[in-house]
Amino acid sequence: MGDIHPGYLFGLLVLLLLCSAFFSSVETGVLSLDRYRLRHLAKQGHRGARRTAWLLLRTDRLLGTILIGNNFVNIIASSLATLLALRLWGDVGVAPTTIALTLILLIFGEITPKTYATLRPERVAFPASLPLLWLQRLFSPLLWLMTGVSNAILRLCGLEPSQRNRKPLSNDELRSVVSDSSEKLSANRQNMLLSILDLEKITVNDLMVPRNEVQGIDLDDELESIISQLRNTTHTRLPVFRNDINQVEGIVHMRQIARLLTHNQLTKDSLRAACLEPYFIPESTPLATQLINFQKQKRRIGIVVDEYGEVIGIITLEDILEEIVGEFSNADALRNPDIHPQADGTYVIDGSANIRDINRALGWQLPSEGPKTLNGLITEALEQIPDCAVCLRIGPYRLEILQSGENRVKSVRVWLTGRAAAPADGTSNALA
């Protein structure tokens, strides 16, 4: 190379630095790709994504190709820089040139391209996949030798290179993936996906309508009372029982008896004949399982029973769907007959209100893993059925019992600490 003009050598050195930047950026870009998005794009027919996915099937060969190319251009660049230094400045210029080349390689051949590839992995990896395929074929004999030696060393360390770590994502890991997608998913869709993942943690018992709130038809009532109840009900399906809901005889769909009601031809026998067989559900059934069971059984309502076979409530398909997508209308979400906002920022809540409903309506985080109702939460915290004018604190929430009786708390004044003033009566028996 003694006859080559220094300008040509300098141009070749710049070209080698660009090649070094290419290999560095490709290595970071390919390994920084979102694998789920890559699979999606590959299935959609994106050529760059398909080539990149194919390269990633053999990570050892891919990394071998990149490292061979990167080391090759870096070594040649070092040799050229030394040659230029000797020709221009003699032996004195070798050391400064080596230091300068090292800094240039670090800045322009490593740090800058790798940082860019981290920020724009698809923009780097997809176009580079085609030259990487060509280089992989060109280096195939050398890659075969290198990967063979490397895999042999890994086997000596107790690792099997052919085994790919493809463990399925856990529920918590899926939640992290969804949460990290907040920039690409709307808040509603993100909440919906998180709610679906939570279905495995929530049981039928958490969501059912308790038996004391179930509206049903008692066949022991007078026929006139039954007809009046059917004409005024807001529900599409109702359980039919005798004297007690534990003696349920079936589920009646209003559509099946609408004609009889219109023509005043409804009798207890025709009502019983229009009923479907009751569908019983164990209280510990996860919501995800029950959603599938409703689909298999072609049902929309089930009778929830405990371990002794006693009826403890009912649950509908709509209840589960609302758990996923939220209330079906804004009016439903805002209208909760158990929660009464007050002018001072506090809320008067019925003791029978479901804690999950309270948390959803007010955006609170009252503990919901134990008792299901506000009354149950208070009695568990106090370990007794309290009298009126008792206050207690549960986390950041203050609760003042306004009314109690019949062995339960009937009405509670609740507020979040720091958002409302203390009760005007200055109750002195507050519990911390």
Query: In the prediction, which pLDDT does 165 show?
Result: 52
Three-state secondary-structure class, residue 53: helix
Domain with CATH 3.30.465.10 in the chain: 339-416
CB atoms within 10 A of CB 341: 10
Look up residue 373 and give its DSSP letter. Answer: B
Q: At what angle do helices 112-119 and 121-138 cross, to 10 degrees?
A: 120
Query: In the prediction, which pLDDT does 316 show?
Result: 92
Beta strands in 180-236 (DSSP E): 209-210, 217-218
Query: In the prediction, which pLDDT does 424 show?
Result: 43
In 3D space, the residue among 212, 250, 262, 254 whose CA is nearest the CA of residue 233 turns out to be 254
Structure tokens at 309: 């076979």
Q: Which fold has domain 339-416?
A: 3.30.465
Q: What is the mean pLDDT of each run of 10 residues along the chain (432 residues)?
A: 71 88 90 84 89 86 87 87 81 83 88 91 91 88 84 82 61 72 71 79 86 89 91 90 90 90 89 92 91 92 92 91 68 64 89 83 82 86 78 89 84 78 42 44
Helix-, strand-, coil-residue percentages of the chain, each rounded to 5: 55, 15, 30
Q: At what angle do helices 6-31 and 121-138 cross, to 10 degrees?
A: 110
229: left (phi over 0), alpha (psi -120 to 50) or beta: alpha
Which CATH class name applies to 199-325?
Answer: alpha beta
Burial of residue 198, with CB atoms counted within 10 A of its CB: 0-12 exposed, 13-18 middle, 19 or more buried: middle
> In terms of pTM, does the model score above 0.85?
no
Structure tokens at 192: 């919906």
Domain with CATH 3.10.580.10 in the chain: 199-325
